[in-house]
Structure 1
Amino acid sequence: MRIGLLGTGPWARTAYAPALAGHPGLEFTGVWGRRPQAARDLAGRHGVRAYDDADALLADVDAVAVALPPSVQAEWAVRAAGAGCHLLLDKPLAVEVAGARAVVEAVERAQVASVVFFTTRFQKEPEAWIDEQAAVANWFTARAQWLGAVFTSDSPFAASPWRREKGALWDVGPHALSVLLPVLGDVRRVAAAAHGPADTVHLVLDHATGATSTLTLSLTAPPAAAGADVELRGEAGVRLLPRGSEGAVPALARAADALLTAARTGRPHACDATFGLRVTEILATAQALLNGDAG
């Protein structure tokens, strides 16, 4: 499968480009970016073509990986689907429900495959754990803490304008939801949402299985306190999400495997654009509560 990359930022450089270049089932074809020199630099590093015209790239490939801010990802995904490209997307799918819904509609119209890269869902140990817990009945409650130190460390993502604007709810909230939803079921109601220190937010969710979950999300945790934990409690006892032993590049390779399979079989992956839309809807509801807009 010929695949192109849209984006040249830190995530594109450190994760997407290496994963695409090293995947035996992909032919990494080229890079387009909003900064032409950055596209040339990244393309040169991997021996592929830098495109000045994004539409020319879309015309040359079977699939596209999108490593752009979520504020613009949706419009590019719609454009790529319209060109007949399968989509490897990042989370969150969009920062507005309308944008995420437009991606789903474009995917359905074009009959292309889509996979949204929720990192934890494509890491070997967490993925197996999620599948195992999803088969267990009668979970009572869950606690998820996704505490990043993006804004309190020398993280390359600290300068990200969209993270500065949207904060932890939209950056790490998708990760927490990607673990909880397949185990506890869809969210029937965002029961509560409250602000914590800086960009920290706290959510209480009511799930379709009758279980409840609490989420604490932050990008401003002290570095010594950073980390991600998920704890389930129910009739089966207490279960803790294991750490992934691999980084983003191997996980992205598995996401690419999932895209290849979905494209070949026509069967949607669990983390497709429709799932990405549902995550966006839940986050938008929580944002409305935080803003005091929900009645």
Structure 2
Amino acid sequence: MRIGLLGTGPWAQVAHAPALSGHRDLEFTGVWGRRPDAARELADLHGTRAYDDVEALFADVDAVAVALPPAVQAELALRAARAGCHLLLDKPLAPTVAQGRAVVEAAEEAGIASVVFFTTRFQPGPEAWITEQAGTGGWFTGRAQWLGAVFTAEDNPFAASPWRREKGALWDVGPHALSVLLPVLGDPRRVTAAAYGPGDTVHLVLDHVSGASSSLTLSLTAPPAAAGAMVELRGEAGVTVLPQATQGAVPALSRALDALLAAAGTGTPHACDAAFALRVTEILATAETLLHSGAR
């Protein structure tokens, strides 16, 4: 499969480009970025071509991997899908439900595969745990804490990201927590949200169709010593905790690429496709509306 990369920022540099260039079943065809100089530099580093015209890249590839802010991703994913390119996207899918729905509809109309890179879902230990707990059932409640230090650690490359400054932890790490809880506890019937705590810290409570409830604490403003992720489930089977990821972003992204190849080859949607990411976007948008209105 010929694949192109859209984006040249820190995430593209440390994760996407190494995963694409190192994957044995992919031809890393080229890079497009909003900064042509950065695209040329990244392309040279990985022995591929820089494209000045994104439509030319779409025409030369079978798929694209996107490492761009959500609003830019949504616009370009729409265009790529209409050009017949399979999609490896990042979370969140889009900053609004309407934009996310447009991507899903374009992918369905074009008959192309999509995979959204919820990092935890492509870590072997955590993904096996999620599958096991979904099969176990009987869960009474779940609790997730996803605490980042993006805004408190020195020299964090993502701290200056405009969309993270605007959207905060709800949209940055919220998708990770939801990607773990939803396949185990089911879709939420109701969502409540409150902004208590330092900086962008928010709290969500979900009422799931399974009858279970869950609570999420999300932040990018945690002290570095307190940063980390935890998910705990309690139910008829007792208490269980999500195992820690043991591998970095590049191996996880390589598994996401494997998933895209499988979905494209078989026509069977992956569990983390754009439709699932749209549902996550709908939940985030509901919580955001509640936070902005002050409703509980």
Same fold, TM exceeding 0.5? yes
Match of 1:101 in 2: 101
- Which structure 1 residue ranges, 5 or more long, are not aligned? none
Query: Counterparts of 1:144-155 in structure 2 under 5 Å?
Result: 144-153=144-153, 154-155=155-156
Contact 1:196 1:202 survives alignment (8 Å): no
- Structure 2 CA distance for aligned equivalents of residues 198 and 41 of structure 1: 36
Deviations 1:170-202, CA, capped at 9 Å, x for gaps:
000000000000000011110343332110000
1:131 is paired with a residue whose SS is helix
2:136 is paired with a residue whose SS is coil
Match of 2:22 in 1: 22
2:205 is paired with a residue whose SS is strand
Match of 1:292 in 2: 293
Shift of 1:125: 0.5
Match of 1:178 in 2: 179
1:39 is paired with a residue whose SS is helix
Query: Counterparts of 1:46-125 in structure 2 under 5 Å?
Result: 46-125=46-125
- Structure 2 CA distance for aligned equivalents of residues 74 and 151 of structure 1: 25
Query: Aligned letter for 1:257?
Result: D
In the alignment, is residue 131 of structure 1 matched against residue 164 of structure 2?
no
2:282 is paired with a residue whose SS is helix
Contact 1:195 1:290 survives alignment (8 Å): no
Give identity over the alignment, percent: 78
Shift of 1:137: 1.7
Match of 1:190 in 2: 191
2:94 is paired with a residue whose SS is coil
TM-score of the two chains, using structure 2 as the length reference? 0.98
- Structure 2 CA distance for aligned equivalents of residues 248 and 258 of structure 1: 15
- Structure 2 CA distance for aligned equivalents of residues 83 and 241 of structure 1: 39
Report the RMSD for the aligned CA atoms in angstroms.
Answer: 1.0
2:195 is paired with a residue whose SS is strand
In the alignment, is residue 164 of structure 1 matched against residue 165 of structure 2?
yes
More displaced 10-residue stretch of structure 1: 188-197 or 226-235: 188-197
Contact 2:192 2:290 survives alignment (8 Å): no
- Structure 1 CA distance for aligned equivalents of residues 217 and 269 of structure 2: 30
More displaced 10-residue stretch of structure 1: 285-294 or 52-61: 285-294
Shift of 1:294: 6.1
Query: Aligned letter for 2:24?
Result: P
Contact 1:21 1:28 survives alignment (8 Å): yes
TM-score of the two chains, using structure 1 as the length reference? 0.99
- Structure 2 CA distance for aligned equivalents of residues 2 and 208 of structure 1: 41
2:151 is paired with a residue whose SS is helix
Match of 2:207 in 1: 206
Match of 1:12 in 2: 12
Query: Counterparts of 1:34-49 in structure 2 under 5 Å?
Result: 34-49=34-49
